[in-house]
């Protein structure tokens, strides 16, 4: 039999002695890599929106927005208020989780007033007649350095009276 | 800091990926593979620098990747026990003109692919080959029989 080339160990490199399990180890790692996009199909890494509701006799507050995001994503938050009775002065208060580390591209229709309620964003929407809806569209982009978990709450007031609140947890992947 | 961490994470992921995907996939650049490579590079770049267009950002990323590359290569050089993990090991795929099927199967190489590689190295027949070794780079080295 001819001599193998230098540095080639026939036991190790031809008969794969001690290397038989390597291929299964490699295949397992590859399966792990393939698992990431599979999990992504199940919305584990965002950004499919979900709807959260709070319904009270006076109104239904519905928040349609993704709860899982990634750095750099453009996304929409849609807040839908259905008045079951007349709301004289609708005010939406958004917790800091809505705006922290986000670029707010636009809010439509523009609230009639904007203020800070103890650090939270306060939007005055005005009058909503009985059985009518108000939909607020907000467009955001996640700042790339904004990573982690945040709580995001949306509270609807009629003047100073709290009507309904939706609480969500947001996860932002790098 | 954020850019440096991104560079470390993506370097580790790409390194890991190149080790588990299999060496042949990476060494044989068919037109489709070339396109995939460009798409891969573009996807990595977007995750790496995102909206940072600054020269400082580029210096951080390039510097970090260069340091990681040198570090990996130094580790492989200084610590021989890490070499199989970092670089892999060669595999003999032909001995005395006969393809070793179990080794070819393991690396997902067909005999047709092997003979194509031979032709590219001006070897017409398997009978001329004493040894063929799939190197850690993914290239196949052919050593001819002494009488051929």
* pLDDT tens-digit series, residues A97-116: 999 999 999 999 999 999 99
Q: What is the pLDDT of residue A55?
A: 95
Mean pLDDT of A38-61: 92
* Fold exhibited by the domain B91-144: CRO Repressor (3.30.240)
CB contact under 8 Å between B50 and A71, yes or no, is: yes
Confidence category of residue B26, pLDDT binned at 50, 70, 90? low
CA dihedral A19, A21, A25, A28 (to 10 degrees): 140
Q: Distance of CA A28 to CAs A21, A23, A93, A128, B83, Å?
A: 11, 9, 48, 58, 21
Residues A70 and A45: beta-carbon distance below 8 Å? yes
The pLDDT mean for chain A works out to 92
Torsion-angle region of B32 (φ positive above 0: left; ψ -120 to 50: alpha; else: beta): alpha
Share of chain B above pLDDT 70, in %: 93
Nearest-Cα residue of chain B relative to residue A12: B91
pTM of the model: 0.75
Give the start-to-end residue ranges of the domains of chain B: 2-86, 91-144
For A32, the enclosing helix (H) or strand (E) is helix A20-41
B34: left (phi over 0), alpha (psi -120 to 50) or beta: alpha
> Which tokens go with A60?
């239904």
Peptide bond into A47 cis (omega under 30): yes
pLDDT of amino acid B106: 87
Chain B residues within 8 A of A141 when measuring between CB atoms: none
Helix/strand/coil for A25: helix
Residue B114 · residue B93 · CB < 8 Å: yes
Q: Chain A partners of B106 at a C-beta cutoff of 8 Å? A: 16, 23
Residues 6+ apart with CB under 8 A from A76: A49, A65, A137, A138, A139, A140
Nearest Cα to A109, choosing from A83, A129, A131, A90? A90
Q: Which of A5, A12, A23 sits opposite B106 (nearest CB)?
A: A23
Average pLDDT over residues B114-142: 92
Q: What is the ipTM of this complex?
A: 0.71
pLDDT over 80 (residue B29): no
Per-residue pLDDT at B14 exceeds 70:
yes
Q: Which of A5, A12, A26 faces B133 most closely, judged by CB atoms? A: A5
Q: What is the pLDDT of residue B17?
A: 86
**Strand arrangement of the beta sheet that strand A49-55 belongs to:** A49-55, A59-66, A74-83, A133-142, A102-108
């Amino acid at each position: 039999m001819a001599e193998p080339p230098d540095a080639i160990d026939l036991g190790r490199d031809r008969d794969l002695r001690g290397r038989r399990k390597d291929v299964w180890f490699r295949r397992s790692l590859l399966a792990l890599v393939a698992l990431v996009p599979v999990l992504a199909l199940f919305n584990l890494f965002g950004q499919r929106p979900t709807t959260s509701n709070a319904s009270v006799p006076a109104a239904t507050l519905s928040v349609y927005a993704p709860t899982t995001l990634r750095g750099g994503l453009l996304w929409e938050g849609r807040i839908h208020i259905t008045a079951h009775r007349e709301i004289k002065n609708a005010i939406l208060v958004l917790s800091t989780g809505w705006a922290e580390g986000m670029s707010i591209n636009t809010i439509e229709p523009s609230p009639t007033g904007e203020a800070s309620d103890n650090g939270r964003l306060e939007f005055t929407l005005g009058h909503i007649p009985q059985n009518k809806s108000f939909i607020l569209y907000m467009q955001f982009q996640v700042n790339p350095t904004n990573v982690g978990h945040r709580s995001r709450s949306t509270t609807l007031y009629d003047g100073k009276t709290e009507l309904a609140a939706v609480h969500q947890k947001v996860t932002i992947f790098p | 800091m954020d850019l440096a961490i991104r560079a470390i994470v993506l370097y580790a992921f790409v390194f890991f990926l190149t080790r588990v995907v299999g060496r042949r996939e990476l060494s044989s650049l068919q037109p489709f593979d070339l396109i995939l490579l460009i798409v891969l590079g573009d996807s990595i770049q977007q995750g790496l620098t995102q909206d940072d267009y600054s020269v400082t950002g580029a210096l951080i990323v390039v510097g970090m990747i260069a340091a990681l590359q040198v570090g990996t290569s130094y580790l492989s050089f200084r610590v021989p026990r890490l070499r199989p993990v970092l670089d892999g090991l060669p595999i003999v795929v032909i001995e005395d003109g006969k393809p070793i099927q179990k080794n070819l199967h393991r690396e997902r190489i067909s005999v047709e692919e092997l003979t194509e590689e031979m032709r590219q190295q001006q070897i017409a027949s398997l009978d001329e080959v004493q040894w063929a070794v799939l190197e850690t780079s993914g290239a196949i080295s052919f050593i001819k029989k002494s009488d051929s």
